[in-house]
Structure 1
């Protein structure tokens, strides 16, 4: 069975904004989703307040980026919850997920 994914409303708005301003970044983001959909369990496991979430890291033009997602193995579904830089990562993700 193939993995499916969906985006939170905040991520959908962010992606829509990227379509207008930063197409190369958006393409890199989409490419990374394609990679981790092949093995969603390969991402890093987050701990503490963010336990239950996974993080996929990559570098785009010298900037460290990450995608935070939640895996539902039984349904073979992923919800993408956060996308952004590694700078102030934990604080941003916690406030983003509220």
Structure 2
């Protein structure tokens, strides 16, 4: 038993339409998952900001001063490892110069 060309074409078109529908459904589900992930990320960032704000309110200026000290240490360590940086004190503050090595 054989089917006509029109019937075979109709069956193929139906299969293609089903595959397209499945693909579209997948795209929609993926977009929904990405949206949910973005919402969760935003909620986490908001919670982190609230926690940091509460810590800053509790610690006052001490936390900011502590972070400045940490940053200063890191900068000093980086500068200490640099071979072509010279520190020059001046009347208006400290001055850092990048001086090429002498030959």
Q: TM-score, normalized by length of structure 1?
A: 0.22
Q: TM-score, normalized by length of structure 2?
A: 0.21
Using CA pairs under 8 Å that are at least 6 residues apart, name the structure with larger relative contact order, 1 or 2.
1
